[in-house]
Structure 1
Amino acid sequence: MNRIRCIAITLALPLMATGHNAFATDIEINVAKTPTCGCCTAWVDHLKDRGFNVETRDVTHAELNNIKAKMDIGPGLASCHTAVVDNYFIEGHVHANEIRSLIEDAPNARGLTVPGMPIGSPGMEMGDERDAYETLLVKHDGATETYREHR
């Protein structure tokens, strides 16, 4: 383990023991969602619970589709909400840890997506029920590769 990670873990342990948010961060993420979508709100809560500074904007379905079109997020990559963080798009129910990894790794890509709305993904929890799904890294040419597998 590198020295910086060791120091970070050492500093986080007292916070975890006292119940404070051990995921404190200054990562800002901007989310566009429809106002009536409960799973979008649950995903935003997932991010906030993990220390993200979330700015939400409620939009109509037409406005959300226009946002996706401007970002060239086609139907095969789409989900119910779209976010932007550090010049990357985040489409759908992507886990907060994967967003952190994306920012830390800084790949030459456009963003991450969890297409559709798989059960068990953040914001789509339904008890113990889980779908197998992949978080995809979307490259600048539109090609995708598996960023993380969820089984």
Structure 2
Amino acid sequence: MTRSPITRRHSLLALAGLTAFVAAPHAFAAARPHVEVWKSPSCGCCKDWIAHLQANGFDVTAFDTGNTDVRAQLGMPQQYGSCHTGRVAGYALEGHVPAREVHRLLKEKPSAVGLAVPAMPVGSPGMDGPEYGSRKDPYDVLLVQRDGKASVYQAYR
């Protein structure tokens, strides 16, 4: 049986695609969003928040240089400040923002500065370790607008 040149070409292209997939499957996987985090070098809850992000599908690069200057550069008002500041896809992340809400932010793409969980509420990601027992304080994840105003993006009770 003789194959036509078109069939042979399609077979070769299919084989090349399969070979590329087997050789480098990570190239075909969806890219994990990358978060940059600025924090104090000695802050344990910041490290725990980073671990929370990594466990929930994010790649993270941390900078142990503090976060006050970066918070201002990203346009996050001081009143929403916390112990660490992140940046993902052009959005600021201030404090212990749950990964679930970061994924939602990236999906919805609102016109905003980013998300903030002001202060350090016990029970939020990174503030939920064994040293806090089973305590969980209610808190809000805020969507911070460019004019500095914020609205509740998600309430945790």
Determine if the TM-score, normalized by the shorter chain, exceeds 0.5: yes
In 2: Cα distance, 1:49 partner to 1:127 partner: 21
CA drift of 1:67 comes to: 1.4
Pick one of 127, 133, 139 that aligns with 1:133.
Answer: 139
Superposed counterparts of 1:51-62, under 5 Å: 51-60=57-66
Larger Rg: 2
SS of equivalent to 1:76: helix
Two-structure CA RMSD over aligned residues (Å) = 1.3
- Is the 2:56–2:99 Cα contact (8 Å) retained in structure 1? yes
CA drift of 1:124 comes to: 0.1
- Is the 1:25–1:52 Cα contact (8 Å) retained in structure 2? no
Pick one of 78, 94, 99 that aligns with 1:96.
Answer: 99
1:148 aligns with 2:154: yes
Structure 1, unaligned runs of 5 or more: 1-23
| Counterpart AA for 2:69 | N
Structure 2, unaligned runs of 5 or more: 1-29
Q: 1 or 2, which has the higher helix percentage?
A: 2
CA drift of 1:100 comes to: 0.2
Tell me the number of residue pairs that the alignment of Structure 1 and Structure 2 aligns: 125
C-alpha distance after superposition, 1:104-132 (max 9, x if no partner):
00011110000000000000012210111
Residue 11 (structure 2) aligns with: none
Superposed counterparts of 1:22-101, under 5 Å: 26-60=32-66, 64-101=67-104
1:122 aligns with 2:143: no
Identity %: 42
TM-score by length of 2: 0.76
TM-score by length of 1: 0.79
CA drift of 1:140 comes to: 1.2
| Counterpart AA for 2:118 | P
| Counterpart AA for 1:149 | A
